[in-house]
């Protein structure tokens, strides 16, 4: 009716269509967990495993991903590569080793590598680093200084971060708070780690990111 005869096809404004991306940006929540023997590692791991699965279930209909890095002994490893698969996470989290020294710097550097790769894959995904530790570092030469330098790499990238301070006992060194300051993030003390409390903390920070940008409040 508009182009079979005459000079050519007649195109009107309402003929034009454009694909529009809807929905919010996805998050990447990367846990970095102290698996050494410096704390009640079994309790800590149990809480983190539950938090990871809780966040995955919560993000089932969203674009979020969750990953997990553990550090113990002489280094750090990616226990759970960033994923949105609940089944994959459950299988990877079933058995995680604990014990040994505390190479905090290695854990932070491994997290930096993982986030760098994920930024290249999907620049729109917002990273959130959740470090679960008492802040002590005992792995390698001058471990405290190494950990501080590794933390400042994340601060320079502008990565939102939370340190879950697991230090217990009457005498507290406040090392987790110092780590949070090096990260440019927030330290939260939880006397009893529970899966729902960690997951709730992460959701609160995600909500702050969505309304006010990256969380940058120093502890």
Q: What percentage of residues in the chain have a pLDDT greater than 70?
A: 76
Tell me what pLDDT residue 181 has: 93
Greater confidence (214 vs 172) lies with 172
Q: Domain 29-212's class?
A: alpha beta
User: Each residue of 132-146: b (16+ CB within 10 Å) or e?
Assistant: bbbbbbebbeebbeb
> What's the pLDDT band for 170 if we cut at 50, 70, 90?
low
Tell me what pLDDT residue 218 has: 39
Find which of 92-101, 102-111, 126-135, 162-171 is predicted with most confidence, using mean pLDDT.
102-111
Tell me what pLDDT residue 19 has: 74
Residue 20 is classified by DSSP as -
Mean pLDDT across the stretch 174-184? 89
Q: Is the pLDDT of residue 121 over 80?
A: yes
127: number of Cβ within 10 Å: 25
Contact 193, 201 (CB under 8 A): no
Residue 26 is classified by DSSP as P
Tell me what pLDDT residue 215 has: 44
Tell me what pLDDT residue 211 has: 59
Query: How far is the C-alpha of 103 from the C-alpha of 144, rounded, in Å?
Result: 9
Q: Is the pLDDT of residue 149 over 90?
A: yes
Cα-based angle 192, 29, 187 (whole degrees, multiple of 5): 45
Q: How confident is the model over 43-91, as pLDDT tens digits?
A: 666 777 777 777 777 765 667 888 889 888 888 999 889 988 878 777 7
Tell me what pLDDT residue 65 has: 87
Q: Is the pLDDT of residue 208 over 80?
A: no
Q: What percentage of residues in the chain have a pLDDT greater than 90?
A: 22
> What's the pLDDT band for 110 if we cut at 50, 70, 90?
very high
Tell me what pLDDT residue 192 has: 44
> What's the pLDDT band for 136 if we cut at 50, 70, 90?
confident
> What's the pLDDT band for 156 if we cut at 50, 70, 90?
very high
């Amino acid at each position: 009716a508009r182009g079979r005869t005459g000079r050519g096809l007649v195109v009107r404004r309402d003929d034009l269509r454009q694909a529009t991306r809807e929905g919010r940006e996805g998050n990447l929540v990367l846990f970095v967990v102290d698996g050494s023997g410096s704390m009640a590692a079994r309790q800590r791991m149990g809480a983190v495993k539950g938090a990871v699965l809780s966040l995955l279930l919560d993000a089932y209909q969203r674009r979020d991903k969750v990953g997990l890095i553990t550090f113990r002994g002489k280094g750090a490893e990616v226990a759970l590569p960033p994923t949105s698969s609940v089944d994959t996470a459950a299988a990877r989290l079933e058995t995680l080793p604990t014990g040994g020294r505390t190479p905090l710097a290695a854990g932070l550097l491994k997290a930096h590598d993982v986030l760098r790769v994920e930024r290249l894959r999907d620049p729109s995904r917002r990273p959130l680093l959740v470090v679960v530790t008492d802040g002590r570092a005992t792995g390698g030469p001058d471990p405290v200084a190494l950990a501080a330098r590794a933390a400042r790499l994340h601060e320079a990238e502008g990565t939102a971060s939370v340190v879950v301070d697991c230090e217990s006992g009457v005498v507290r060194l406040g090392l987790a708070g110092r780590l949070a300051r090096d990260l440019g993030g927030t330290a939260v003390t939880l006397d009893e780690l529970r899966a729902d409390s960690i997951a709730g903390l992460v959701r609160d920070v995600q909500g702050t990111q969505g309304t006010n940008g990256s969380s940058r409040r120093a502890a």
